[in-house]
Chain A
Amino acid sequence: MNNYVTILKALFKNKLRFDAGKSKRKKLAFALLLGFVYLVVMAAAISIILELKELFLYFTVMAQLFYFFVLMTAAIVVLFFGIVHLVIVLYLSKDTDFYSMLPVKPATVFAAKLSYVYLSETAIVIAVALPLLIAFGIVAKMWAWFYVIAIATLVIVPTLPLVVAAIVAIPVMLIASKLKNRNIISLVFFLLLFGGAFSLYIYFIYLTSSGAVTPESMTRVLNGLKMILDVLYPYTVLSRAACGIPMYGLGMGASTVVGVAIFIAISAVLLIIIWLLAKFMYAQSVKANNQTDNSKAKKGEFKTTTSTRALIKREYISSLRSTQIAFQCYAVMLLPILMAVVFGLMAGNVSDYNHDMQLTYDGSFIRLMTFCMLAAMLATLGNGASTTFSREGNAMASLKILPVNIKTILKAKIIAWLLPAIPVSIVTVVIINVMNFSVNSMLLSMFSLVPIAVVFVIFGTLWDLTSPKLKWTDPIQAVKHNMHVLGGQLMMMGSGLAIIILMLVLSACSVKFDVINIVCWALLYAVLAAFAIADIVLYRKIDKYYNRLEM
């Protein structure tokens, strides 16, 4: 037990104490910024709860559905982070050798690692769901048992997504262990997973909300909802129990007891499945780690190119040949495209509904909002660029001895990250405009969002050069714990969200749409200008930043 606790503590310390080299002021500023953004997001979510107050008060089923969707949202977040977490901690872990030589049973190491993953995911669930559930309980005037059940069961909620994560990680692991190029296989899998999940989401939006409101469309909506509720039965039964909705012909009290008992029982079974699956995965990974690669490599040939191209190629090799890095840098780049499809469908549907339901915001307003949301989503294009120097780690010394100046290195790195970022931003803009076409919007968005993507990628590269995170033991730390990634995303997403909030405020103040339209586009161009100015300012000092890097 002692060893279990010691290893678990070590895993958490290793994760949480990574930023030890940073000054306290910087740490505090970053924590405050993160806290502020969290509060803003929560405030926005809670304002939606307040908006829906009447709905919750008069329709118990809507209250149940809302609770269900909060659980589902938390589960989706856990699913995506959980897969990465399980694979990194249990399968692609770099510390297998270290733990193997300790006088600790492998089962204890495994238990500590699985607990670490579970507790981390539980923390995510609590951060996402707890404030919303409390706010929802107060607004919807839920009974006292709601708080007890909803809060107590949060620690069990990660079981369902984690079991899915454990299952889907197995084929990847088995296929990857038999193939030479494991990293590419894993990357393809992650892309398929993300693509599949978003396709399902888009299909659901299409299924539930396409066309005008008719009895047929309402039936489609209800069928879609029923399908989700059936698939995620543990959350359905929990949400019914917590909201005091009778089921199985029982009274309210008995239904609640039975519902909670069913949820706990299913979760217990899922927990056992996770344990067994993860144990199998871990055993395989330890086995794979102990095997020596004696295979004969295919003989290659020397290929000559220019120094800039060699540096670009190097950037791709170093980022693509590591699953975790590739996932963090490239896979997330697909998000703006996927979100463009989702936003495009939603904007189109809102326009359609508007004819029948006289909604507050018309189609033009929603479309304008989608451009701001997409501007915010462009933040995902910067992960690779804003960690490009940090990922060098100790290899920065190898780079510094080369007879190339920082301008050439910078040029190569910027080109390497603009090459995927520009097409992604163009495709994103084309998709959103094709789905809801307007010449003005097409031109305005093409000449704002694409350049924003460009200046943002350049900004990320330059910002990382100012103070790269070179001290790490695993390259993924250079990405996951990098202030330049989070900071850049917060700036970009914050800018997009701030413009949306301003649009809503202006609309609430009965300002004409034409004015809002001008203000919104002006602000998007202001964001572009701000990043461009920051790029120029930083570029002027690149020699200073490069020379002061010490290994």
Chain B
Amino acid sequence: MQDVTNTVAQGKTVLDISHVSMAYANGNVKAVDDLSFTLKPGEIFGFLGANGAGKTTTIKMATGILPVKSGSIKICGYDITHDSIEAKRHFGFVPDSPIIFDKYTGREYIDFLGDIYGVNNTARESITADLLKRFALEDAFDKRISGYSHGMKQKIAIIGSLIHSPELWILDEPMMGLDPPSAFALKELMKKYKSEGKTVFFSTHVLDVAEKICDRIAIIGKGKLVLCGDMDEIKRAKGDESLEEIFLSVAGESEHE
């Protein structure tokens, strides 16, 4: 791994992924291979990699969807394996394909999550009012999710992930299916979240977005961390190349290993 980071978060870490590995097909295929990195409060962290590089698997382990069989993952100090309930209280997650409970209306879905996370009605009202306006979803909010478009499902998943104001916001390919105004709204929301001292961790293929809004990025290839660090430092170290050029060079190197 090429580590160009000067400062790894000292003290409190929001997400601590430590020597995590995951293999499929009886151990023959390594989806994630000894992966380690940490996220500090108040940053936007981009998680990049080619298709099948292990991004979604890592995120699934971090969110408790897949078990962590090797290594450990801590969210706000809580181990996702041993203290999963507390760990899960501290993040909100937007999956790559928003398969949420489509028999619900948007409001019922938010209500359900509010009940699970113990969010009171006043907070539900204020949080959703702002987010619905940002994503222009007010008219559809009381309709069944099954009738929503892909983008609308993505938006309601985003709203649902923030209903409990988590310290860590995890998004897997969040720009997919969003129209330009909504994509813009999402980027603005990420920045706002960061300004509140919270952390955004998202995977993406859209390198332009990562380049513009991320404080730090990590690139993985074949399940291994190949590059991790501060956006500006990486650029300086790589001769001020664009993120696309950096990505192609390091992703290409990892492919040839």
Contacts and interface: CB of A to CB of B under 8 A. Distances in A.
Interface in B106-145: 107-108, 110-118, 120-121, 124-125, 139-144
Nearest to B100: A398
B124 to A, nearest CB: 5
A313 interface: yes
Given A304-B120, A310-B115, A403-B86, A297 B100 contact: no
A317 B105 CA distance: 10
Contacts of A317: 101, 103-104, 108
Contacts of A400: 63-65
Contacts of A305: 115
A94 to B, nearest CB: 11
B88 interface: yes
B65 A551 contact: yes
Contacts of B101: 314, 317-318, 395, 398
A551 B60 contact: yes
B115 A397 contact: no
Contacts of A395: 99-101
A547 B61 CA distance: 11
A303 B111 contact: yes
A287 interface: no
B114 A402 contact: no
A25 interface: no
What is the interface residue range for chain A against chain B? 35 or more
A401 B124 contact: no
B65 A403 contact: no
A298 B105 CA distance: 11
A293 B125 contact: no
B67 A547 contact: yes
Contacts of A404: 85, 116
Interface residues of B, number: 43
A296 B141 CA distance: 10
Best-buried of A317, A397, A401, A547 by chain B (most CB within 10 Å): A401
B95 A548 contact: no
B99 A397 contact: yes
B85 A302 contact: no
Interface in A284-304: 293, 296-304
Contacts of B89: 403
Contacts of B181: none
B65 to A, nearest CB: 5
A291 B85 CA distance: 43
Contact of A298 (B103, B108, B142): B142
Contacts of A307: 115-116, 118
A356 interface: no
Contacts of B124: 302
A405 B85 contact: yes
Interface string A444-461: 000000000000000000
Contacts of A313: 112
Nearest to A305: B115
Contact of A302 (B67, B84, B95, B121): B121
B225 to A, nearest CB: 23
Given A302-B125, A304-B121, A401 B112 contact: no
Of the candidates B67, B111, B147, the one having the most CB atoms from chain A within 10 angstroms of its own CB is B111
Contact of B117 (A298, A302, A314, A403): A403
A309 interface: yes
Contacts of A303: 111, 121
10 contacts: A300-B105, A302-B110, A302-B111, A304-B114, A318-B101, A394-B99, A398-B99, A403-B85, A547-B67, A551-B66
Interface of B: 60, 63-67, 84-89, 93, 95, 97, 99-101, 103-105, 107-108, 110-118, 120-121, 124-125, 139-144, 147
Interface of A: 293, 296-307, 309-311, 313-314, 317-318, 321-322, 393-395, 397-398, 400-405, 547-548, 550-551
Given A306-B115, A310-B115, A398-B99, 14 more contacts: A293-B143, A302-B111, A310-B116, A314-B112, A317-B108, A318-B101, A318-B103, A395-B101, A398-B95, A400-B65, A403-B86, A403-B87, A548-B67, A550-B66
Task: Give 4 nearest A-B pairs by CB, closest first.
Answer: A310-B115, A403-B88, A297-B142, A321-B103
